[in-house]
């Protein structure tokens, strides 16, 4: 039986039952035996009830279980609602991370020296995705180096639609993704309403809980959308979420490749290569991505690597977070960074995580000069690892 025949047979059966009942009723009506009419009326009512039940079942099946395709107008409405929910979610997160005030740390990125992905020229030359409305195509030269503020232009203009952001521990990968989400949502609001359906809503999930050997990417992501956003609730929620993915109404950012099983990472990269039909960004640490890339390739992706911060950048950021003029301890700290850019202190403070730990754990009145005189257990001047450990310990004390 063909697919169309399977869809139509309940209607056919219900129609035949109804026609038979009406025909029989007409025949008996013309009969000269009233008893026959009375008996058949009861029979016809029963048959009509069966037919009505069958038609109702078909209706429920078509509208509830087997609806299949969610209309484009409804997907557009859902996309707008999702954009508002995502904006509220990540604006709140940005505030908690200190990304709203002061200005975010100006992280730079470059094309990685290690082989994480295929040729950058292939990713830039791909025509799989047209540039987002209001943006232009990204060329190979633009993928060689840039500033975190330019990340949205790369994301929205990359022809392959696939980007890998790598960096060391504390390099600011998640913060970069949060800033990208907020920039993407601002851009979506700024474009004319008639082209807005072509601008996807960015969503971010961790890779925890997905086994590509047992569940396809589309189904797993639909589940995550339903779990994270109440607008995908109810019987039609999963179908609507799948429709959003199928129609590229969302762009997906996946974090934590480095935090899943080493044996699972290549399978994840292969599944993403084969099954991702939407714009995709992957966040991961350098070493784990390099190892996984020797066994599987995220086809079509371009990679950028977040760079360490120099001493001048660290000094500028720390100065912007303090009183003006800064307290004496902060003046001594920033002077040391400027005078000794290769010192263990400067090496410890060469990433956004450590700078934000100093900002958040040393309050007004705390003596930050203790960082300048730290010693290890043997009484030797502290190494960069010792300073990092000290700041992490202060963070744990702060959150208790």
- What is the predicted pLDDT for the residue at 4? 46
pLDDT of residue 71: 81
Q: Are 371 and 387 in contact (CB under 8 A)?
A: yes
Geometric angle at alpha carbon 205, from 309 and 114, rounded to 5°: 45
Starting at the earlier edge strand, list the strands of the sheet with 108-110.
145-147, 108-110, 302-306, 162-167, 280-285, 250-255, 201-206
The tens digit of pLDDT for each residue in 135-160 reads 999 999 999 999 999 999 999 999 99
The mean of the pLDDT values for the chain is 86
Residue with tokens 């190494």: 383
Does the pLDDT of residue 39 top 60, yes or no? Answer: no
pLDDT reading at 317 higher than 50: yes
Task: Please give the average per-residue pLDDT across 342-365, as a whole number.
Answer: 91
| Interatomic CA distance for residues 352 and 104, integer angstroms | 9
Q: What is the average per-residue pLDDT within 279-285?
A: 98
Question: What span, in angstroms and rounded, lies between the C-alpha atoms of 164 and 89?
Answer: 23
Residue 40 clears pLDDT 80, i.e. is over it: no
Return the structure tokens found at 238: 């999963």
Are 227 and 176 in contact, with CB atoms under 8 Å apart?
Answer: no
Residue of 255, 285, 84 lying closest to 178 (CA atoms):
255
pLDDT at 281: 98
The rounded percent of the chain whose pLDDT value lies above 90 is 68
Strand pairing partners for 147? 108
Choice among 34-43, 56-65, 138-147, 243-252 with the minimum mean pLDDT:
56-65
Per-residue pLDDT reduced to its tens digit, 369-389 = 989 989 888 888 899 999 999
Q: What is the biggest distance separating any 2 CA atoms in the chain, rounded to whole angstroms?
A: 118
| Predicted pLDDT at 54 | 40
Q: Whole-angstrom Cα distance, residue 359 to residue 395? A: 11
pLDDT in tens, 81-113: 999 999 999 999 999 888 988 889 999 999 998
Check pLDDT > 60 for residue 2.
Answer: no
pLDDT (0 to 100) of residue 326: 87
Among 19-28, 49-58, 219-228, 255-264, which stretch is predicted with the lowest mean pLDDT?
49-58
So what's the pLDDT on residue 144?
Answer: 94
**CATH number for the domain formed by residue range(s) 72-306:** 3.40.50
Would you call 216 helix, strand, or coil by DSSP? coil
Q: Which residue has the higher pLDDT, 191 or 64?
A: 191
Q: Is 214 helix (H, G, I), strand (E, B) or coil?
A: coil
Place 225 in a pLDDT band, splitting at 50, 70 and 90.
Answer: very high
Structure tokens at 232: 């995908």
The answer, yes or no, to whether residue 3 has pLDDT greater than 90, is no
- Give tens-digit pLDDT for 64-86: 444 456 788 899 999 999 999 99
Length of the chain: 400
Q: What pLDDT, on a 0 to 100 scale, did the predictor assign at position 87?
A: 97
Q: What is the pLDDT of residue 58?
A: 37
- What stretch of H or E contains 306? strand 302-306
Quick one: pLDDT at residue 394?
87
Is residue 100 within 8 A of residue 94, CB to CB? The reply is yes
Peptide bond into 121 cis (omega under 30): no
pLDDT(59) > 50: no
- Per-residue pLDDT of 118-130, as tens digits, reads 999 999 999 999 9
- The band of 45, judged by pLDDT with boundaries at 50, 70 and 90, is very low
Q: Is the model's pLDDT at 57 over the cut of 50?
A: no
User: Long-range contacts for 91-96 (Cβ within 8 Å, ≥24 apart)?
Assistant: 91/182, 93/178, 94/178, 94/179, 94/182
For residue 24, what are the CA distances in angstroms to 52, 210, 318, 354?
17, 59, 91, 86
What band does 20 get if pLDDT is binned at 50, 70 and 90?
A: low
């Amino acid at each position: 039986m063909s697919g169309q025949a399977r869809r139509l047979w309940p209607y056919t059966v219900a129609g035949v039952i109804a026609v038979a009942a009406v025909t029989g009723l007409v025949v008996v009506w013309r009969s000269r035996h009233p008893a026959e009419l009375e008996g058949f009326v009861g029979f016809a009512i029963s048959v009509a009830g069966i037919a009505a039940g069958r038609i109702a079942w078909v209706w429920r099946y078509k509208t509830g279980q087997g609806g299949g395709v969610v209309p484009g107008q409804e997907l557009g409405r859902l996309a707008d609602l999702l954009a508002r929910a995502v904006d509220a979610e990540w604006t709140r997160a940005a505030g908690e991370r200190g990304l709203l005030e002061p200005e975010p740390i100006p992280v730079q990125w470059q094309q990685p020296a290690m082989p994480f992905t295929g040729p950058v020229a292939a990713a830039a030359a791909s025509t799989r995705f047209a540039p987002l409305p209001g943006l232009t195509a990204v060329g190979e030269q633009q993928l060689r180096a840039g500033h975190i503020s330019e990340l949205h232009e790369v994301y929205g203009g990359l022809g392959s639609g696939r980007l890998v952001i790598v960096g060391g521990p504390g390099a600011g990968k998640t913060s970069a993704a949060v800033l990208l989400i907020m920039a993407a949502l601002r851009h979506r609001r700024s474009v004319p309403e008639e082209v807005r359906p072509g601008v996807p809503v960015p969503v971010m999930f961790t890779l925890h809980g997905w086994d590509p050997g047992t569940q396809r990417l589309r189904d797993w992501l639909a589940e995550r959308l339903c779990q994270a956003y109440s607008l995908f609730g109810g019987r039609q929620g999963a179908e609507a979420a799948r429709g959003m993915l199928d129609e590229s109404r969302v762009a997906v950012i996946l974090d934590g490749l480095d935090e899943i099983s080493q044996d699972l990472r290549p399978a994840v990269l292969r599944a993403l290569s084969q099954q991702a039909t939407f714009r995709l960004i992957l966040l991961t640490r350098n070493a784990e991505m390099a190892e996984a890339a020797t066994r599987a390739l995220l086809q079509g992706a371009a990679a950028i690597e977040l760079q360490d911060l120099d001493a001048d950048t660290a000094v500028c950021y720390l100065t912007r977070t303090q009183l003006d003029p800064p307290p004496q301890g902060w003046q001594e700290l920033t002077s040391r960074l400027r005078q000794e850019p290769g010192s263990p202190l400067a090496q410890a403070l060469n990433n956004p995580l450590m700078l934000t730990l100093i900002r958040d754990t040393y309050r007004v009145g705390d003596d930050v000069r203790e960082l300048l005189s730290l010693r290890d257990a043997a009484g030797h001047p502290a190494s960069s690892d010792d300073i990092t450990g000290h700041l992490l310990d202060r963070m744990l004390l702060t959150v208790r």
